[in-house]
Every structure is written in C-alpha cells, then in structure tokens.
Copies of this chain bind each other. A is one copy, B any other.
Amino acid sequence: MNDLITINDVARAAQVSTATVSLALNGNPCVKQQTRERIIRIAKELGYSPNRLAQGLARRKSGLIGLAVPDIESLYYGKIVRHIDEAAGQNGYQLTLAISNDNPETERKIIGKFIDQQVEGLIVAPINQPVQQVNYFQELVKTKIPCVFITAYYPQLKAPYVMADLQAGSCVLAEHLLSQGRRHLCFLSGCPEVITTQIRTAGLEEAVRKAAGRQAPKASLRIIACQRLDYAAGYEQACLLLKQNLPVDAIITINDEMALGALNAAISLGFDIPGQLAVAGYDNMIFSSAATVPITTVDQNIDLMCRQAVDMLMTMMKQSGQEANGHPSGIMLEPRLVIRRSTERP
C-alpha cells in the first residue's frame, strides 16, 4: 500500500488525460494507435499497474471469485483448490479462498466475507454434513450471487452443481469386486446423514442387488460409519474390523487415504492382499498406485470437474441480472474404474 504509481502519474508523463490512459490501457479502439503505443510504453517504463480496488470500485466488478472448501489438509481438496485457481486465472479472475475447517458456523461466515469482498461469483465445496443445517445457503442463493456447488450439493437448494457420479462409481466398483468372486463387502463409510455417503451407499447396494439374481452365494454389504476419513481412520477402523473375524473379503473405503490405511492395517495383521481380502479406494490419488499392493480405485477427474464448475460459473456470471434461463442444472461426471492389484481375482 505504498506510494505506487497511479494513472495520474502516467497521464502526466504522457501529457494526456487520465481518461485517455484508461481507455488506451483497456484497449478501447477510440484511442489513436500511436497514442496508445506511447501510453503503454510510458506505463511500462513507470512500472504502472492499476489499483484493483479502485478499478473494482469504478467498474463495479471485483475480478474476484470465492472458493470455500471444508479442509485444505487433504490431497483431495488441495487438488480442487489448485484446479479452480488455474481455471479462474485462465478466465481473468483472481481466486479468494476460505477454509471452513469442517465448521458450519465458519462456513456461514465465509459466505458473508465473500459478499463483503464483492466476489462476482463463488464456488462452494460444502462441508459433508447432514442436510438439514444449511439454511444459510438459502440466503446465499437469494442474494443472486452466481454460485455453483462442487463435489457435493444440497438437493433442496436448486443451485447448480458439478460433482462426480458417486453412485455410478460406487456401483461399478462393487460390480467389479463381485465379478471377481468377492461376496462380503464392507464399506468404511462416513456419516450416514451426509448426502454423498447416501449416494455412495446407494451405488454399492445397487450392485449387490443386481448381483443377487445372477450369482451365488448371496453377496452382503456391511457399512461402518467412520468419524474421521483420513489415513489413520482407515488404519484403525480396518484393524477393528479385521480383528473381529467376520466374513469380510473386500474393504471399500471412501477415499484413497483410508484405503491405504486399511491396506496397511490388513498387511500388518497378516492378511494376504488380494488373495484373502480385496481393498479398494476412491479418487485415484497418486499414492494409490504406489502402495505396497497397488490399490484399485475410482478416478473422479477432478481437473475436469473444476473446469466445468468454473465454466458454469462464468456462464452464470454473464447472464447475471438477466432472467435465469430455466432451472439451474447439475453436472454429474462419469467415473472411471482403475483396476489394480489390490482387488485381483483370488
């Protein structure tokens, strides 16, 4: 916030008005080619760059889009942030990030902060929480600030979203396991009130149901709701599970971190993977391919997801003010099953 070069300095140096400088620098064709070039040269010489606050105020556009994530200490959301940042930049927007640390109260405040900051649009990767508590999003949607949800959505909200088709992904994963002869699936899952958990569970159940007619013996699906969803949680929950000597021949987890934890737990308990037990993850994170036993997983195509979300947001921002064209839509991205050794036929 030091005494930087302003448009006035440039105008004085170039012997023109500030209006001309502004027009020249913004590529307005009314400015004579020769004048423009001189102004640009002088601006560069002086090291001028416009004050975004003033620019934003005058244009009534901040050039900012907000991204809210529940967590930043996981590869998954790290990837989200990176790709949204990249896509936003490519569209000439600066990202402003806020982290809710899985705290709904914080998430609510974040929305307010974004509005203060005059974001032109925002992308929310919502906390994975039971659906009831999100009335503050209602208000957000009412403010008419363009907003798209990513990685999850709230069914009652009628706000556009982009997410992986978790039902299809879970289903195709379970089908793969069943086709390999696994019969007793166990899902290390999250909170059952959370929408994405429900969707994943539905996918698994769908596969089991479909298989019921065709294959014997009958397949079973056990669901364990875990509090935390990280490596350590995967390790601990797998230990607890496997020590019970239940008939389990496949563990499915909610993400690759947990899968790696579960795999390592199983190995230290002396299980033969994949002979005795299959382990599958989700997200196709870098380390899943390099585990002691490479882990089967489902790729979400986060890159594409982020680009779609930003594209969608840009479209909404352009239409903003106009009548919304029909109902806000949602995009579900097709999953890609990545088969590795951890689920090979026993």
Instruction: Give A contacts to B, CB under 8 Å.
Output: 1-2, 4, 49-54, 56-57, 60-62, 72-75, 77-79, 81-82, 85, 94-99, 101, 112-113, 115-118, 120, 143-145, 230-232, 235-236, 257, 260-261, 264-265, 267-268, 286-287, 289-293, 320
Which of B61, B72, B115, B293 meets A78, CB within 8 Å? B72
Q: Is the CB of B286 within 8 A of A143?
A: no
C-alpha spacing A257/B85, complex, angstroms: 24
A125 to chain B, nearest CB (A): 14
Query: Quick one: which of B98, B116, B293 contacts A49, CB cutoff 8 A?
Result: B116
Q: A2-B143, A2-B320, A267-B292 are in contact. List 6 more A-B contacts (CB 8 A).
A: A1-B62, A53-B118, A72-B85, A77-B78, A94-B96, A94-B117
A-B residue pairs in contact (CB < 8 Å), sample of 21: A1-B120, A2-B145, A49-B115, A51-B57, A53-B53, A53-B56, A53-B57, A57-B57, A72-B72, A73-B75, A73-B79, A73-B82, A74-B78, A85-B98, A95-B97, A230-B287, A231-B290, A232-B290, A235-B290, A257-B287, A268-B293
Known contacts A53-B57, A56-B53, A267-B292; is-contact A115 B73 (Cβ 8 Å): no
Of B112, B264, B289, the residue contacting A291 (CB under 8 A) is B264
Q: How far is the CA of A82 from the CA of B78 in the complex (A)?
A: 11
Give chain B residues whose Cβ lies under 8 Å from the Cβ of A73: 75, 78-79, 82
Q: What is the bound-complex CA distance between A236 and B98, given in angstroms? A: 36
Cβ of A143: which chain B residues have Cβ within 8 Å of it? 2
Which among A54, A112, A143, A264 has the greatest number of chain B C-beta atoms within 10 A? A264
Nearest-CB residue, chain B, relative to A2: B144
Are B72 and A231 closer than 8 Å at their CB atoms?
no
Residues of B within 8 A of A61 (CB): 1
A101 cross-chain contacts in B, Cβ below 8 A: 82
When C-beta atoms are compared, the residue in chain B nearest to A232 turns out to be B290
Cβ–Cβ contact A261 & B232, under 8 A: no
Task: Please state if B62 and A72 are interface contacts (CB–CB under 8 Å).
Answer: no
A94 to B97, CA, bound (A): 9
**Shortest CB distance A46–B (Å):** 14
Nearest CB of B to A47, in Å? 9
CA distance A72 to B79 in the complex (A): 7
A320 to chain B: which residues have CB within 8 Å?
2
**Closest beta carbon of chain B to A267's beta carbon, Å:** 6
The CA of A145 and the CA of B1, in the complex, are separated in Å by: 7
**Bound complex: CA of A57 vs CA of B287, how far in Å?**
46
A52: chain B residues at CB < 8 Å are: 116-118
Q: Determine if A232 and B94 form an interchain contact, defined as CB atoms under 8 angstroms apart.
A: no
Q: How far is the CA of A63 from the CA of B290 in the complex (A)?
A: 43
Residues of B with C-beta under 8 A to A50: 116
Which residues of chain B have C-beta atoms less than 8 A from A98's C-beta? Answer: 85
* CB-nearest residue of chain B to A144: B2
- Bound form: Cα–Cα A30–B265 in Å: 66
Distance of A56 Cα from B101 Cα, bound (Å): 27
A231 touches B78 (CB 8 A): no
A268 touches B292 (CB 8 A): yes
Given contacts A232-B287, A287-B261, A292-B264, whether A94 and B113 have CB atoms under 8 Å apart is yes
Q: A289: nearest residue on chain B (CB-CB)?
A: B232
